[in-house]
């Protein structure tokens, strides 16, 4: 909130050159974006060629067509940005394109590894790479539609409470609905099954709730900065202002208990805390929130076996390797990462069929095995650049709502990556959550493309030249004005 806003220029009184003069119009940098996108598409094509080579499949021109089709897909997204958000940030879309493309290649690679596998229950491995391509295309359509219809991110603030309600319902729905609509898959009750489609409403709820919190905090910010008692060098908030924090905490705990979904619960509460911190600049909120969350987590650990399992698996996965619901998954993921080592096994040369849930929760472990530490670090850096550009746009944008929303969105992606990579590498207990843009999953991909569109919209409004204020009619000084004789009314 307190970032130095460049209020000086563009207004009368400051002799700073205004951005609006044609000579100083900031570059839109759309060309840079296109070059970077081509680079990303080239890398993805190369990755696909390597996978096919290492799997000893016949190479054909088809791969080049696939690469070109991929470039075409993102070229359309690029044209949408060029048309509807010309000043958007040039680094965000290429990063997303590369992450999504690598995700597609790795999903295809896992399909190849598992081709023809028959599971103990008699079902055959179902290749999903093509479905993910369709989801990517739909995601990009949604992305373009968001850019087209949301001409100003401040429009969202008006529907803050509506979004909040819808988001809350979407988040809680799978937890309270009966099992035939909301089945429990892999121990988590986060899915809604409508006909042939399974959707994960929590992914969309994440964005809706962020919009709500940003709008809510902007309108009620004064409340939260009112100081209460001072304690240990912190200004504690007044007890009655804690309501929203307790509400968020309650929702997070309910998600943890009803849906058995630790990841979403942690993600949701983390986002609320960061938004509160960004809005108020008070460390006290973070300390209080973390205290509340740790308290809740400890109680949940005492009460629920599925939480106890996760923690035990985290403390020593290999000791619990043989147990049902034990450390098998994390152990296999660690073995994969160890096989990869520094330089990796090479794309297509690893053994991802050994890693469970390889194309969703553990996709980063597969990437770690095949690209090694070096490639994995590059991947994390790409996420970092994405988040960095998001935060940068949030700092540069001029309105408080945009700042909060942009900061929240960028942080959400960052935090989600932390939760999933932390779980895969045994830094924190594993909590099934998707890796943004990499994992297989339609809901996650669609929601994340909407998120990218929102970030691009905010960055476009941050980088666009300010419109020159309307020149006020210049009134001559009092002394220069004509004197008019007015007759006194009789």
Query: Which of 73, 334, 396, 446: binder of another protein (CB under 8 A)?
Result: 396
Least distance to another protein, CB of residue 141, Å? 25
381 lines the binding site for another protein (CB under 8 A) = yes
Per-residue tokens: 3: 């970032």
Q: Determine which residue in the list 20, 38, 198, 225 makes contact with another protein, applying CB under 8 A.
A: 225
**293, 327, 330, 366, 450 from 315: Cα distances, Å:** 20, 9, 11, 22, 37
The upper half-sphere exposure of residue 468, i.e. CA atoms within 13 Å in the direction of its Cβ, equals 13
* Region from 9-17, 206-214, 320-328, 407-415 binding another protein, contact rule CB under 8 A: 9-17
β-pairing, 227-231 vs 234-237, is antiparallel
- 112 vs 297 by CB, closer to another protein: 112
Residues 340-359 that bind another protein (CB under 8 A): 343-344, 346-347, 349
Alpha-carbon distance of 153 to 460, in angstroms, equals 10
The answer to whether the beta carbons of residues 19 and 26 sit under 8 Å apart is yes
Q: Is 263 exposed, middle or buried (0-12, 13-18, 19+ CB in 10 A)?
A: buried
Question: Restricting to residues 418-477, which ones interact with another protein according to CB under 8 A?
Answer: 459, 462-463, 469
16 binds another protein (CB under 8 A): yes
Stretch that binds another protein, among 23-31, 199-207, 309-317, 351-359 (CB under 8 A): 23-31
Q: In the range 126-185, which residues lie near another protein by CB under 8 A?
A: none
In the list 50, 166, 258, 318, the residue contacting another protein (rule: CB under 8 A) is 50
Q: CB 3 → another protein: shortest distance, Å?
A: 8
Contacting range for another protein; rule: CB under 8 A; set: 229-237, 301-309, 388-396, 419-427: 388-396
**Residues 38, 177: Cα–Cα separation, whole Å:** 45
Q: What whole-number distance in Å separates Cα of residue 45 and Cα of residue 64?
A: 7
Which residues, 6 or more positions from 203, have their beta carbon under 8 angstroms from its beta carbon? 434, 443, 444, 446, 447, 448
Binders of another protein: how many residues, by CB under 8 A? 64
What's the distance, CA 59 to chain centroid? 35
Q: How many residues does the chain have?
A: 490
Is residue 227 close enough to count as binding another protein by CB under 8 A?
no
Q: Is 65 in the site for another protein (CB under 8 A)?
A: no
* 3-state secondary structure at position 379: helix
Q: Cβ contacts of residue 323 below 8 Å, gap of 6+?
A: none
| Residue 325 CA: distances (Å) to CA of 187, 310, 317 | 10, 9, 11
Interacting positions 80-99 with another protein (CB under 8 A): 89-91, 94-95, 98
Nearer to another protein, 17 or 298 (CB): 17
Interaction between residue 17 and another protein (CB under 8 A): yes
C-alpha to C-alpha distances, 136 to 56, 147, 271, 345, 400, nearest whole angstrom = 27, 16, 26, 27, 32
Find the binder of another protein among 124, 176, 299, 374 (CB under 8 A): 374
State CA 58 to chain mean position distance: 37
Per-position x/- string for 184-223, each x denoting binding to another protein as judged by CB under 8 A, each - no binding = --------------------------------------x-
Minimum distance, C-beta of residue 297 to another protein, in the bound complex (Å) = 35
The three-state secondary structure class of 483 is coil
State which residue, 5 or 168, has the beta carbon closest to another protein.
Answer: 5
Minimum distance, C-beta of residue 173 to another protein, in the bound complex (Å): 38
What is the contact surface with another protein in residues (CB under 8 A)? 1-9, 11-17, 19, 24, 26-27, 29, 32, 36, 39-40, 43, 46-47, 50, 53-54, 89-91, 94-95, 98, 222, 225, 343-344, 346-347, 349, 371-372, 374-375, 378-379, 381-382, 385, 388-389, 392-393, 395-396, 400, 459, 462-463, 469
């Amino acid at each position: 909130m307190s970032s130095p806003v460049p209020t000086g220029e563009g207004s009368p009184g400051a002799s700073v050159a205004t951005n609006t003069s044609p000579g100083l119009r900031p570059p839109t940098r759309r060309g840079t974006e296109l070059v970077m996108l081509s680079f990303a598409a080239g890398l993805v094509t190369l990755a696909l060629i390597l996978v096919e080579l290492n799997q000893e499949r016949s190479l054909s021109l088809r791969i080049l067509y696939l690469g070109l089709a991929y470039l075409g897909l993102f070229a359309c997204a690029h044209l949408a940005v060029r048309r509807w958000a010309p000043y958007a940030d040039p680094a965000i879309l290429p990063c997303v394109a590369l992450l999504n493309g690598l995700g597609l290649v790795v999903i295809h690679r896992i399909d190849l590894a598992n081709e023809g596998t028959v599971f103990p229950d008699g079902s055959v491995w179902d290749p999903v790479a093509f479905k993910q391509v369709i989801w990517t295309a739909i995601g990009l359509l949604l992305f373009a539609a968001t850019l087209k219809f949301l001409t100003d991110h401040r429009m969202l603030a008006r529907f803050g409470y509506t979004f909040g309600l819808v988001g809350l319902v979407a988040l809680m729905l799978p937890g309270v609905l009966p099992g035939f609509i909301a089945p429990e898959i892999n121990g988590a009750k986060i899915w809604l099954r409508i006909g042939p489609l399974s959707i994960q409403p929590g992914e969309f709820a994440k964005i809706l709730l962020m919009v709500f919190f940003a709008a809510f905090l902007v309108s009620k910010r004064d409340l939260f900065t009112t100081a209460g008692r001072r304690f240990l060098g912190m200004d504690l908030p007044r007890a009655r202002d804690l309501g929203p924090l307790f509400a968020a905490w309650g929702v997070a705990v309910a998600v943890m208990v009803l849906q058995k979904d630790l990841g979403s619960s942690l993600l949701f509460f983390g986002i609320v805390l960061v938004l509160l911190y960004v809005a108020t600049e008070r460390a006290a909120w973070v300390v209080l929130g973390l205290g509340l969350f740790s308290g809740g987590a400890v109680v949940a650990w005492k009460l629920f076996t599925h939480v106890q399992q996760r923690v035990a698996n985290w403390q020593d996965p290999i000791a619990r390797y043989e147990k049902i619901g034990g450390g098998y998954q994390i152990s296999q993921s660690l073995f994969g990462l160890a096989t990869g080592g520094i330089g990796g096994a090479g794309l297509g040369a690893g053994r991802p069929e050994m890693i469970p849930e390889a194309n969703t929760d553990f996709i980063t472990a597969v990437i770690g095995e095949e690209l090694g530490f070096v490639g994995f670090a590059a991947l994390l850096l790409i996420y970092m650049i994405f988040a960095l550009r998001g935060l940068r746009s949030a700092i540069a944008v001029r309105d408080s709502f945009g700042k909060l929303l942009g900061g929240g969105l960028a942080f959400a992606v960052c935090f989600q990556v932390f939760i999933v990579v932390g779980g895969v590498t045994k830094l924190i207990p594993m909590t099934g959550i998707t890796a943004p843009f990499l994992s297989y999953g339609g809901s996650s991909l669609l929601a994340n493309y909407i998120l990218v569109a929102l970030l691009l919209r905010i960055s476009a409004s941050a980088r666009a030249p300010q419109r020159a204020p309307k020149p006020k009619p210049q009134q001559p000084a009092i002394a220069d004005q004509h004197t008019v004789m007015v007759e006194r009314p009789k």
